[in-house]
Amino acid sequence: MKRIIFILSIIFLIGCTTKPTQSEMSISPTELTSREKSILEGVIGQEILSYDVSSLPNDHQLRLTVEHYHNGEKQNHVANMSSSITAKDKPHTLFFSREKTDEGYTIHALVLSENGVSAMEAYKEYNTKNSSSLFKKLEEEITFNTNEEIIVGVTIEDSGNAIITGSLQEDDPRFKEVIAKYQDVFVYKVSVSKEQKVID
């Protein structure tokens, strides 16, 4: 009997140590087929970020934000959207995209869930035209904690000829250099917070 209890205790401990902490979660890039990518490019723009968010915990809020820096100065948010994560309506994929024209750009943020789509769209005109552009996206799974903002993509535009990007995350010193150096920088962010329950 003691041996069985000992074995069960070991199994229980192993099970507990392999689970991530309650506040830790992850998102990972989704692989789009060439057909899906061409359809999305035709509908929501040339620069597409797509991430699997199916492992995010229930009873939380998923927040998508796009920040814009012009000549090193932070502007008003281009996009700011929240979507509830519930057992009945579980999000599985999020998309950011940007569609450019000669006059401006349209930012799209979409969250696909089992019961539909949450979406927002924002149009902004260019302050000045830029001759060169670079789009960089997070291409591996990332683990993060509740209330922690993570960067999943960056678009850099400048009137110069050469664009060199730094890291995607804000704790890298090169990130501030990128913000200060280039004319326009768009930062695509994701965060998850505990949903506040309304008590009747």
- Of 91 and 76, more confident: 91
State residue 12's pLDDT score: 37
pLDDT for residue 113 is more than 70: yes
Model confidence at 23, in pLDDT bands (50, 70, 90)? low
Range in 20-34, 143-157, 172-186 with the lowest mean pLDDT: 20-34
Q: Give the whole-angstrom CA distance, residue 33 versus residue 25.
A: 26
What are the structure tokens assigned to 114, written together?
Answer: 């089992």
What are the structure tokens assigned to 23, written together?
Answer: 């506040």
CB 108 within 8 A of CB 120: yes
What are the structure tokens assigned to 164, written together?
Answer: 């060199």
State residue 161's pLDDT score: 66
pLDDT tens track for 34-82: 887 777 777 777 788 899 999 999 999 999 999 999 999 998 777 888 8
pLDDT for residue 2 is more than 70: no
**Residue 57: is it exposed, middle or buried by C-beta count within 10 angstroms (0-12/13-18/19+)?**
middle
The stretch 193-199 carries a mean pLDDT of 66
Could you give the percent of the chain with pLDDT greater than 90? Answer: 27
Model confidence at 4, in pLDDT bands (50, 70, 90)? very low
Q: Give the whole-angstrom CA distance, residue 131 versus residue 158.
A: 6
Task: Please report where in the chains the tokens 């998850």 appear, as a residue.
Answer: 192
DSSP class per residue in 28-95: EEPPPPHHHHHHHHHHH-SEEEEEE-TTSPSSEEEEEEEEEEETTEE-S-SEEEEEEE-SSS-EEEEE
The stretch 135-142 carries a mean pLDDT of 90
Contacts of 59 (CB under 8 A, 6+ apart): 85, 86, 194, 195, 197
Model confidence at 3, in pLDDT bands (50, 70, 90)? very low
Task: Please report where in the chains the tokens 């939380």 appear, as a residue.
Answer: 60
State residue 196's pLDDT score: 62
Model confidence at 144, in pLDDT bands (50, 70, 90)? very high
Model confidence at 15, in pLDDT bands (50, 70, 90)? very low
State residue 198's pLDDT score: 46
State residue 20's pLDDT score: 42
